[in-house]
């Protein structure tokens, strides 16, 4: 009872349940199996129905933005791999590209290709994890065994070249820290072939599954207008039929060299968000395939001054991370330590839509809707 | 480029705001605006009307006053705005969380880190930090590290261009 009273005090905006109503508070997380990482949602409930779900953040907060102000730009590099642990390479990419833009550093073409190939592999790995986890939340145990089998194949490839399996720190200002070899190319091509065959299994197991369809179709509909009010990005906004992808809208690196589509949904429900990610994996495979075909020779790391002197001023760099738009916004006062680094993470805005989205839902639908958002909590808490 | 950039810029000029065109290749955004806190809400309304979304809100501790940074972008193309608003002497800025609901959390986070009061915010309680750390304000600089606004701006800022056509090239 004490905890309840405390919660009410913290969430002053929650109307206290009327004396004779049936409303009660239900605490979900931070150690609930379907609130991955350490998300806590305080639910005001009326029977099985959710009246007001309020996410409570901060359990995984490490204050990365403060750390960035206390070390030189290179020493912060490992931090970038520790926000979105499921897809760390786009975070690497945004960070190094920010300094390349600010200081006007040229990157060799081969390095840009390696960045795109590894980032897209990382995106696929992230979606593997998400398919497994979302279905697990909804009570289906089998899919995660298949997706993790595929995920392992890619992690092995990435481990060979980056040296780690999860929290990558592979990119450097001016390129990457290790070149890819023929073995990498061979294994990646083998993976592309294998993954294309595996989509068939996913479709038989999940996409056409009547239970899955019944639980996701029409559940958690995000309208384009609602998405815009909250600044929703990534597969979540594309599920609502808006073809917003930083790779196309503000092309960076060598993405303009590749032919790929942006899959969009129609209804903006949980099923559409699932379909968008599934189709996106195929598009990532297409990008990797073209990149491997065009892969130029040359150095993998350009000439970079030993001591990077930043000009004063501010600079922004947006990339398409696995969950949406990731923006680094740097304010420099000269020297080699950032004066301020703001990190805009996609899951933060995507989750902020939850209270409006899930009002009046059944609790089990909230789990499906939240699962379809592909949240990574350490990224939100930073 | 956003299809209605011209309209948007004109609407912002209608609020007598100065829109500075920036070199995207160098800065990663297209336009910058220094706005007074009194005009912020009108600016946000214009952004909402013209199909922009709020990318983030963040703080920046500089002399003489803390600046709140808003970044707006669009789903329809490439058009990014950086809006800087200096807080009023009583350390407050009006909320825009009723215009862009996404601002609700960003403003709570900025209050956590900088102690800025967003007037009119419906629920300005700690979001990221724990309740007992309500006065921690971890991103405020120590006096010796604090810089002047001019020291963190581009040395030779591109002056606002009066004609819309020129501004569009930015």
- Name the A residues in 130-189 with CB < 8 Å from any B CB: none
Cα torsion through B78, B43, A324, A368, rounded to 10: -140
Among chain B residues, CA nearest to A57: B128
pLDDT value of position A264: 93
pLDDT value of position B8: 85
Specify the DSSP class assigned to residue A19: T
B164 pLDDT band (50/70/90 cuts)?
very low
Please give the backbone phi and psi of residue A228, each rounded to the nearest 5 degrees, phi first: -70, -35
Helix axes A182-202 and A109-137, enclosed angle (nearest 10): 30
Tokens of B54: 């709020």
Please choose, from the candidates A16, A11, A100, A114, the residue with its C-alpha nearest in 3D space to the C-alpha of residue A54.
A11
3-state secondary structure A281-335: HHHHHHHHHHHHHHCCCCCCECCCCCCCCCCEEEEEEEEEECCEEEEEEEEEECC
pLDDT value of position B154: 83
CA A245 to chain centre: 13
Which residues from B are below 8 Å from A61, CB to CB? 128-129
A147 vs A38, which has greater pLDDT?
Answer: A147
- Name the A residues in 89-128 with CB < 8 Å from any B CB: 98, 101-102, 104
- Alpha carbon distance A113, A123 (integer Å): 15
- Alpha carbon distance A269, B166 (integer Å): 42
Sheet of B67-74, strands arranged across: B19-21, B31-35, B81-86, B67-74, B52-60
Which residues from A are below 8 Å from B80, CB to CB? 250, 316, 318
DSSP string, A106-138: ---HHHHHHHHHHHHHHHHHHHHHHHHHHHHHT
Helix (H/G/I), strand (E/B), else coil: A374 = coil
Average pLDDT of span A66-87: 89
Lowest mean pLDDT among A13-17, A124-128, B12-16, B66-70: A13-17
Helix axes A142-162 and A109-137, enclosed angle (nearest 10): 160
Instruction: Say yes or no: A318 contacts chain B, CB-CB below 8 A.
Output: yes
Residue B159 has pLDDT above 50, yes or no: no
Average pLDDT of span A357-367: 90
Among chain B residues, CA nearest to A101: B26
Instruction: Say yes or no: A85 contacts chain B, CB-CB below 8 A.
Output: no
pLDDT value of position A275: 93
CB environment B105-131: b (16+ within 10 A), e (fewer): bbbbbbbbbbbbbbeebebbebbbbee
pLDDT value of position B156: 62
DSSP string, A163-231: S-SSS---EETTEESS---HHHHHHHHHHHHHHHHHHHHHIIIIIT-HHHHHHHTTSS---HHHHHHHT
3-state secondary structure chain B: CCCCHHHHHHHHHHCCCCEEECCHHHHCCCEEEEECHHHHHHHHHHHHHCCEEEEEEEEECCECCCEEEEEEEECCCCCCEEEEEECCCCCEEECCCCCCCCHHHHHHHHHHHHCCEEECCCCCCCCCCCHHHCCCCCCCCCHHHCCEHHHHCCCCCCCCCCCHHHHHCC
Residue B167 has pLDDT above 90, yes or no: no
Average pLDDT of span B24-34: 89
User: How many residues make up chain B in this entry?
Assistant: 170
- Alpha carbon distance A67, A167 (integer Å): 17
CB environment A82-94: b (16+ within 10 A), e (fewer): bbbbbbbbbbbbb
Cβ distance of A313 and B27 shorter than 8 Å? yes
Cβ distance of A250 and B128 shorter than 8 Å? no
CB-CB: which of B71, B75, B125 is closest to A316?
Answer: B71
Residue A59 has pLDDT above 50, yes or no: yes
Sign of the alpha-carbon dihedral angle for A70, A72, A75, A76: positive
CB B80 within 8 A of CB B28: yes
Tokens of B101: 């609901």
* pLDDT tens figures, B48-85: 988 899 999 999 999 888 999 999 999 988 889 999 99
Rounded to a whole number of angstroms, the CA Rg of chain A reads 21
pLDDT value of position A33: 74
Q: Which helix (H) or strand (E) holds A101?
A: helix A89-103
pLDDT value of position A15: 54
B109 vs B166, which has greater pLDDT?
Answer: B109
Residue A3 has pLDDT above 70, yes or no: no
pLDDT value of position A195: 93
Instruction: State the maximum Cα–Cα separation within chain A, in Å, rounded to a whole number.
Output: 74
The whole-chain average pLDDT of chain A stands at 88
* pLDDT tens figures, A215-267: 999 898 999 999 999 999 999 999 999 999 999 999 998 999 999 999 999 99
CB environment A310-345: b (16+ within 10 A), e (fewer): bebbbbbbbbbbbbbbbbbbbbbbeeebbbbbbbbb
Please give the backbone phi and psi of residue B168, each rounded to the nearest 5 degrees, phi first: -70, -25
Average pLDDT of span A67-89: 89
Residue A1 has pLDDT above 60, yes or no: no
Burial of A305 (0-12, 13-18, 19+ CB in 10 A): exposed
- Alpha carbon distance B128, A67 (integer Å): 16
- Name the A residues in 224-253 with CB < 8 Å from any B CB: 227-232, 237, 242-244, 249-250
Please choose, from the candidates B168, B165, B135, B150, the residue with its C-alpha nearest in 3D space to the C-alpha of residue B63.
B150
Helix (H/G/I), strand (E/B), else coil: A280 = helix
Cβ distance of B154 and A327 shorter than 8 Å? no
Please choose, from the candidates A364, A377, A376, A381, the residue with its C-alpha nearest in 3D space to the C-alpha of residue A138.
A364
- The CB density around residue A304, as the number of other CB atoms within 10 Å, is 17
- Alpha carbon distance A134, A375 (integer Å): 10
pLDDT above 70 as % of chain A: 95
A19 pLDDT band (50/70/90 cuts)?
low
* pLDDT tens figures, A179-222: 998 999 999 999 999 999 999 999 988 998 899 999 999 898 99
Lowest mean pLDDT among A314-318, A334-338, A355-359: A334-338
Average pLDDT of span A270-298: 93
Q: Which helix (H) or strand (E) holds A354?
A: helix A354-357
Please choose, from the candidates A76, A61, A130, A66, the residue with its C-alpha nearest in 3D space to the C-alpha of residue A378.
A61
Residue A5 has pLDDT above 80, yes or no: no
Residue B161 has pLDDT above 50, yes or no: no
pLDDT value of position B67: 92
């Amino acid at each position: 009872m004490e905890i309840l009273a405390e919660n009410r005090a913290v969430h002053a905006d929650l109307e206290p349940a009327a004396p004779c109503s049936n409303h009660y508070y239900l605490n979900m997380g931070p150690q609930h199996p379907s609130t991955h990482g350490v998300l806590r949602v305080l639910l005001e409930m009326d029977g099985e129905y959710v009246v007001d779900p309020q996410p409570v953040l901060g359990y995984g907060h490490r204050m990365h933005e403060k750390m960035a102000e206390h070390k030189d730009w290179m020493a912060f590099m490992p931090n970038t791999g520790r926000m979105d642990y499921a897809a760390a390479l786009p975070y690497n990419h945004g960070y190094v590209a920010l300094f390349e833009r600010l200081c006007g550093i040229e990157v060799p073409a081969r390095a840009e290709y390696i960045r795109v190939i590894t980032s897209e592999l990382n995106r696929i790995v992230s979606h593997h994890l998400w398919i497994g986890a979302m279905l697990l939340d909804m009570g289906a145990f089998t899919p995660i065994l298949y997706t993790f089998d595929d995920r392992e194949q890619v992690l092995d490839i990435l481990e060979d070249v980056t040296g780690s399996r999860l929290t990558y720190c592979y990119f450097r200002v001016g390129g990457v820290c290790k070149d890819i070899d023929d073995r990498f190319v061979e294994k990646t091509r083998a993976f592309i072939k294998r993954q294309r065959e595996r989509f068939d299994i996913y479709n038989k197991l999940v996409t056409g599954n009547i239970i899955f369809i019944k639980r996701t179709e029409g559940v958690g509909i995000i309208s384009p207008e609602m998405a815009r009010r909250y600044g929703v990005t990534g597969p979540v906004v594309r599920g609502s039929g808006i073809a917003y992808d930083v790779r196309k809208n503000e092309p960076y690196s060598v993405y303009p060299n590749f032919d790929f589509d942006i899959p969009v949904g129609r209804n903006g429900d949980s099923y559409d968000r699932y379909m968008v990610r599934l189709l996106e994996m195929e598009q990532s495979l297409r990008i990797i395939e073209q990149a491997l075909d065009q892969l130029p020779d040359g150095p993998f790391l350009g000439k970079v001054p030993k001591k990077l002197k930043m000009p004063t001023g501010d600079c922004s760099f947006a990339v398409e991370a696995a969950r949406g738009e990731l923006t680094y916004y740097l304010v420099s006062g000269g020297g080699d330590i950032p004066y301020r680094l703001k990190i805009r993470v996609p899951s933060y805005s995507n989750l902020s839509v939850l209270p409006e989205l899930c009002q009046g839902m059944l609790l089990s639908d909230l789990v499906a809707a939240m699962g379809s958002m592909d949240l990574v909590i350490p990224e939100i808490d930073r | 480029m956003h299809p209605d950039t011209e309209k948007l810029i004109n609407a912002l000029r209608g609020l007598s705001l100065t829109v500075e065109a920036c070199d995207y290749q160098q800065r990663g955004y297209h336009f910058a605006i220094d706005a007074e806190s009194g005009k912020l809400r009108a600016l946000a309304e214009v952004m909402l009307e013209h199909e922009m979304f709020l990318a983030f809100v963040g703080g920046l501790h500089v002399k003489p006053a803390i600046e709140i940074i808003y970044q707006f972008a669009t789903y329809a193309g490439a058009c990014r705005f950086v809006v800087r608003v200096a807080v009023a002497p009583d350390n407050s800025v009006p909320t825009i969380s009723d215009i862009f609901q996404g601002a609700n959390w960003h403003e709570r986070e900025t209050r956590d880190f900088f102690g800025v009061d967003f007037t009119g915010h419906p629920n300005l309680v700690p979001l990221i930090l724990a309740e007992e750390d309500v006065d921690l304000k971890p991103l405020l600089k120590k006096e010796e590290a604090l810089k002047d606004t001019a020291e963190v701006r581009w040395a030779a800022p591109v002056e606002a261009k009066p004609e819309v056509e020129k501004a569009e090239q930015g």
